[in-house]
Each structure stands twice: as C-alpha cells, then as structure tokens.
Amino acid sequence: MDEEVEAIECAAFEAWPAAEVRSLAGWRLRFNHGVTQRGNSVWTGIEPVVPDDLGDRMEAVESFYGERNRPAIFQISPWAAAGGLDRELAARGYESASPVFVQSAACAPVAARPVATGREAGCDATPTPDWIDLTTRRGRYAAGAADVFLQMLDRLGERAGFAWAADREGPAASGLVVLAPPWAGIFAMRTLEDRRERGLGAALLTAMARWARGRGVTQLYLQVEQDNPAALGLYAGAGFVTRYPYHCRRGPAG
C-alpha cells in the first residue's frame, strides 16, 4: 500500500465518527444506531493479514453487534482481501455487498472549475437551515436518521464544511466536506431529483474544493458506489480517478 492510499483510508475512517467505537486489537467496531452502513461496520485497519485469533475476534464482533440488534458488517479493503479476510468471511456465510470506488483528485484544479451561469454555490462552517432540510428531511437522512446524522456532524466540529448549490428556483443540492489536511473528503452529495442534470453537482464540488483549499488542503478524496453511473461521470469530469475499491461483507441479521 502506498502512503497516499494509507492516508486516504485513515482520513476516511476519522471523517465518519460513529456514536460508539470499540477497539479490538487493531480493528474498530463502529455503531451509529443503524444510520449508514459505514457507521455500523468493522474497520479492519490497514494490515493485510488474517489474525491468528480470528475465531475469538469473530465471536467478539458478532456479540458486539448482536447486543445492539445489528448484523455484523465488515468493510473489506483490497489489503484485507489480499490477506485472506474476505475469503474467511465468505466461508462463514458473510455475503458480499455495496461495492465502492475510492477516488482522489488534486484540489486546485477542482477549485478552479467555474460555476455554471445561473448557478450559485458556497460552503459554510456551520449548516444552514436549507442545508439541513436538503440533507435530512428531503435527503437520505430523513425521519429518525436525522438526529443521529446531526449528532455525527457535531462530533466533526470545525473539520466540517457544509456546501450548497442553487439555481434560479432556489437551493437544490448539498454536500459535506471533512478536513484532514493535506486531504479533505467529499461526502453526502445530494441534488433534488427534479433539479438534476443542471450543473448543481459540479457547482458543489467547486465550492467544497475552494473551501478546503483555503484551509490547507491539496488533495481531495471521495467514495462512490460502483453502480452509480451518474456520480461516476460527474467525478470523472472533475478529474477524480479511482485509487482502490472496497466492499462489505454482511453477516446474518442480529
């Protein structure tokens, strides 16, 4: 693993702080009240080996999530797979799910991209009411997930930037950028369904890159589902390239 990939992986772990994190000999067991798969899964770190005490660890993992009425889920990076953990989990009946590409781009070229005529975009140090509305009630984190998500944002503190984009009809897109200079992560990109294909996603990326660059960031990273062609096209157009994939292994329901 090269140093940049290691930096991305560690920054991404810190960028999504779960409500509860338990250490287990280098692994991190995350629980976030069921909100987001990433926040409720095992991060196995950056060591490409299957531990000799795998049986004991599996018992501890499954007990941890079972007590919280959640299935045990592992985030499987290429080095975890190369070390044999993916194979071991498959043999134990864990199903593969949620393939993702981790991508990166230099910050300056993204920040230099113009915002389309008739569009506005910005990034704030605190979430506005419009941002919260777009991201929670009208976005992915609706209903009971909203409070859990907003509590996670509180844990990010000053590392977080809250991006928005608007057209002539008003605010229609939101995103989250999390600082870990010289890196920053792009998360929670969302455009209202009836306002897509208007350049708002590109405007969000520009706004987040400009905000991050002003705070010492030189490189951006993001995580995108492999079966999302619209998002892949948007990020490719902004200069993002794939650095590595990951997927999850999901055990039986708790």
Largest CA distance in the chain: 60
pLDDT band at 207 (very low <50, low <70, confident <90, very high): very high
Residues in the chain, total: 254
Percent of the chain with pLDDT over 90: 86
CB neighbours of 98 closer than 8 A, spacing ≥ 6?
37, 225, 247, 248
pLDDT in tens, 233-242: 999 999 999 9
pLDDT band at 192 (very low <50, low <70, confident <90, very high): very high
Same domain for 240 and 154, yes or no, is yes
* Residues 60 and 83 occupy one common structural domain: yes
Count how many domains the chain has.
2
Cβ-based neighbours of 103, under 8 Å, separated by 6 or more? 221, 222, 223, 224, 235, 240, 241, 242, 243
Q: Which pair of structure tokens corresponds to residue 208?
A: 């987040």
Task: Give the sheet arrangement for strand 27-31, strand by strand.
Answer: 20-24, 27-31, 42-43, 73-76, 241-250, 95-106, 219-225, 183-191, 170-180, 160-167, 120-124
Identify the sign of the CA torsion 66, 70, 71, 74: negative
Q: Does residue 254 carry a pLDDT above 60?
A: no
Same domain, 94 and 137: no
Range of the domain at 54: 3-100+246-250
91 and 157 belong to one structural domain = no
Q: Do residues 232 and 119 both lie within one domain? A: yes
Question: Is the domain of 71 the same as that of 110?
Answer: no
Do 126 and 205 reside in the same domain of the chain? yes
Q: Are 104 and 8 in contact (CB under 8 A)?
A: yes
**Same structural domain for residues 42 and 120?**
no
Q: Are residues 212 and 197 in the same domain?
A: yes
If asked whether residues 118 and 219 sit together in one domain, one would say: yes
44/94 Cα distance (integer angstroms): 15
Same domain, 236 and 113: yes
Mean pLDDT of the chain: 94
CATH of the domain at 215: 3.40.630.30
- Interatomic CA distance for residues 242 and 34, integer angstroms: 28
Give the mean pLDDT of 112-136.
96
Q: Is 122 found in the same domain as 204?
A: yes
The answer to pTM > 0.75 is yes
Dist. CA 252–CA 96, nearest whole Å: 12
